[in-house]
A and B are shown apart, each in its own frame.
Chain A
Amino acid sequence: MALGKVLDPTAVRSDDITSPGPDAGPLAGKTVGFRLDEIWRAWDWIAEIWAAEFRAAGAEVKFWRSHQGRTGTEGEKVARELEEFLASIDVAVVGLGNCGSCTGWTIRDALAAAAKGLPTTAVCTEVFDELGHQLAARGGRSGLRIHILPYPLNEKQRHEVEPVAHEYFQGMLQTMGATLSQSKEKVG
């Protein structure tokens, strides 16, 4: 038996932003942008319900639908669309992390929004909670706001998903640092 020194084969990035970024604050008068995904219909239904709440509070709501084609000419088109979408909103809600690669792109798009200084919240289901946080940290922003929805979700019927949207709405406001009233007080 002999002791000796070996070289560490791993590499890590050293930069990290631990701040969650700015609160969304009062939503009245702001444009809230939902990043949807062509795969997850359950996320469409939830976004519709939350959007109605935001509109009732005086916010404008925009939707942009992402998809998995992030390479080649298709990928360039998606990147342009994302850029235009982020330029047109004040608050970003980015989902849905509900599989491995789509959680990856959800987090990556959320990091792009946060890098522009937008109050940004990513949304994942609970199976992909840790993955979302790991990818945010590896993307250099461990403080990224991530709201977690129950799993399974997309396998459910609409009438089963709608109660989930209502149940998790207050938590979403908290994660966003948002208020529905004009008051600057945060929910919760």
Chain B
Amino acid sequence: MKRGIATQQHTEQKVVNLRDCGEAGCELDWLSSKTVETEIDDVMQFTRFAMQQGWGDGLPLIPPTEARVRAFLGANNRYADEVICHLPPTDADCTVEKIAINAVMAGAPAESMPLIIAALEGMADPDFELFGLNATTAPVIPLTLVNGDIRNKLDIPYQHGCLGGAASMSTAIGRTIRLLVRNVAGQVAGVTSQTTFGSPGRVAGIVFGEWEERSPWAPFAERRAGIKGDAVSVYGTMGTQNIIDTTSQTGPEFLEMIGKSLAYPGANGFSPAMPFAEMMVAINPVWAEIIHRDVPNLEDVQELIWKHASIDANHLTPQHLNQLEAQNRVINGRVFVSVEPKDVLVICCGGTGGLHATGFHSFGSCITQTRAIVPGPEQH
């Protein structure tokens, strides 16, 4: 079988700009954000005020008072004015302080800041193409996949209902990232974002873990970037696509069903507007075990999904086909969801009821980014 080439690596040692004030310790830094006087005891009144300011997403918001923000920062031991990244289209400074303010508003725990920072760093990588994601007519959102023990420490779901519905802190963590995209990156529907329909995931994101203990494969972050332990991977997804299979019994049968279900002309991976795309697939632990039994090599798993995730070129309209042919995307009369099998990204998560897989069609051209989660000293 054809083998994919090695994926992009991000294995360089991460150096975090932790505070070092000597034995005497530090006083909390001055905060530089503008302050606004408003109602702070009544959440609903504050939420109405925040919506008027353009800060909100429609759900109740916790007032980001200086005391709350300082408490959040104090638990993390990072300089408030440290610039983590620049998020397009605004490209303004995304500082630790802005992250803390938005996290307080979203109700995220202070312990989640290293995870949020790692996710933002991944999203800010030019190869993630957040510039396109934030402006597009598509409903795309950055999905955040978590690996390592931090899944349990932060209550990140990876079993039943992990993509939505499981009660967990991942909702507030995902909401923080979405508020930062709104308030710092400047993504506003109808203004800087032309998203035609949007997506429910644009409110609280999709933050979930891989069920590493049940997965027959190495953790995704390790496979993707050689990072063992706590890590996040961000992936630009168009949403979740359910794939049911109550019939298959063998690994190749499940993989054929998954692959064929992913193949429809309106997916971005088949669009001439996108020269390439990745294709993430979440496989439940029951199927994963069967698949691994019958197809032990993960590259063969990717290849089988890829082979079936293709469309007969003759089923496309002539104009559609002409554009794809001009991009050399037609191979032996078929068009594939990704250019190479290596771009089929397989993960294991979900409940033990099995019966379903989830496809995450990509926006296309945004390359999945994986970053280590580096905790502050009090969080070791």
Q: Residue-by-residue, is B76-119 near A (CB-CB < 8 Å gives 1, otherwise 0)?
A: 00000000000011111111011001100100000000000000
| B260 vs chain A, min Cβ distance (A) | 26
Known contacts A99-B136, A101-B135, A104-B136; is A7 also within 8 Å of B365 by CB?
no
Asked if B184 and A138 make an inter-chain contact with CB atoms under 8 angstroms apart, the answer reads no
Q: Could you tell me which residues of chain B, from 112 to 150, have a CB within 8 Å of some CB in chain A?
A: 126-129, 131-138
Asked if B136 and A139 make an inter-chain contact with CB atoms under 8 angstroms apart, the answer reads no
Q: Could you tell me which residues of chain A, from 68 to 100, have a CB within 8 Å of some CB in chain B?
A: 68-72, 74-75, 99-100
Asked if A4 and B65 make an inter-chain contact with CB atoms under 8 angstroms apart, the answer reads yes
Asked if A7 and B101 make an inter-chain contact with CB atoms under 8 angstroms apart, the answer reads yes
A5 part of interface (Cβ distance < 8 Å): yes
Q: From A71, which residue of chain B is reached at the shortest CB distance? A: B127
- Chain A residues with CB under 8 Å of B65's CB are 4-7
Q: Could you tell me which residues of chain B, from 191 to 233, have a CB within 8 Å of some CB in chain A?
A: 191-195
Asked if A4 and B275 make an inter-chain contact with CB atoms under 8 angstroms apart, the answer reads no
CA distance A39 to B364 in the complex (A): 14
Asked if B98 and A1 make an inter-chain contact with CB atoms under 8 angstroms apart, the answer reads no
- Chain A residues with CB under 8 Å of B134's CB are 104
B259 part of interface (Cβ distance < 8 Å): no
CA distance A70 to B33 in the complex (A): 34
Known contacts A68-B274, A72-B367, A138-B192; is A6 also within 8 Å of B36 by CB?
yes
Q: Could you tell me which residues of chain B, from 12 to 67, have a CB within 8 Å of some CB in chain A?
A: 31, 33-42, 45-46, 54-55, 63-66
CA distance A144 to B89 in the complex (A): 15
A55 part of interface (Cβ distance < 8 Å): no
Known contacts A2-B40, A9-B105; is A68 also within 8 Å of B273 by CB?
yes
Q: Residue-by-residue, is A8-27 near B (CB-CB < 8 Å gives 1, otherwise 0)?
A: 11111100000000000000
Asked if A71 and B126 make an inter-chain contact with CB atoms under 8 angstroms apart, the answer reads yes
Interface size class of A (residues with CB under 8 A): 35 or more
Known contacts A74-B275, A100-B136; is A6 also within 8 Å of B46 by CB?
yes
Asked if B194 and A1 make an inter-chain contact with CB atoms under 8 angstroms apart, the answer reads no
- Chain A residues with CB under 8 Å of B132's CB are 68, 70, 100-101, 104-105
Asked if B138 and A3 make an inter-chain contact with CB atoms under 8 angstroms apart, the answer reads no
Q: Could you tell me which residues of chain B, from 324 to 352, have a CB within 8 Å of some CB in chain A?
A: 326-327
Asked if A3 and B89 make an inter-chain contact with CB atoms under 8 angstroms apart, the answer reads no
| A1 vs chain B, min Cβ distance (A) | 6
| A187 vs chain B, min Cβ distance (A) | 31
Interface of A: prevailing SS: mixed
A38 part of interface (Cβ distance < 8 Å): yes
Known contacts A11-B184, A135-B192; is A6 also within 8 Å of B323 by CB?
no
Asked if A1 and B184 make an inter-chain contact with CB atoms under 8 angstroms apart, the answer reads no
Known contacts A9-B98, A101-B132; is A71 also within 8 Å of B367 by CB?
yes
- Chain A residues with CB under 8 Å of B184's CB are 9-11
B183 part of interface (Cβ distance < 8 Å): yes
Interface size class of B (residues with CB under 8 A): 35 or more
B179 part of interface (Cβ distance < 8 Å): yes
CA distance A163 to B54 in the complex (A): 41
- Chain A residues with CB under 8 Å of B63's CB are 4, 6
A69: contacting residue among B39, B91, B276, CB under 8 A: B276
CA distance A104 to B88 in the complex (A): 10
Q: From A10, which residue of chain B is reached at the shortest CB distance? A: B183
B193: contacting residue among A38, A100, A140, CB under 8 A: A100
- Could you say which of A43-51, A126-134, A167-175 contacts chain B? A126-134
B305 part of interface (Cβ distance < 8 Å): no
Asked if B55 and A9 make an inter-chain contact with CB atoms under 8 angstroms apart, the answer reads yes
- Chain A residues with CB under 8 Å of B31's CB are 7
B309 part of interface (Cβ distance < 8 Å): no
CA distance A12 to B98 in the complex (A): 11
Asked if A134 and B98 make an inter-chain contact with CB atoms under 8 angstroms apart, the answer reads no
| B306 vs chain A, min Cβ distance (A) | 18
Asked if B273 and A39 make an inter-chain contact with CB atoms under 8 angstroms apart, the answer reads yes
- Chain B residues with CB under 8 Å of A3's CB are 37-40
Asked if B45 and A135 make an inter-chain contact with CB atoms under 8 angstroms apart, the answer reads no
Top 4 closest pairs, chain A to chain B, by CB: A100-B194, A104-B135, A101-B132, A69-B275
A-B contact pairs, 5 of them (CB 8 A): A9-B55, A12-B186, A68-B273, A69-B275, A127-B194
A sample of 15 more A-B contacts (CB under 8 A), given A2-B39, A69-B274, A70-B129, is A1-B45, A3-B37, A4-B63, A7-B34, A7-B65, A8-B55, A10-B98, A68-B132, A70-B132, A74-B365, A100-B132, A127-B194, A130-B191, A131-B191, A134-B191
Residues of chain A whose beta carbon lies under 8 Å from any beta carbon of chain B: 1-13, 38-39, 67-72, 74-75, 99-105, 108, 127-128, 130-131, 134-135, 138-140
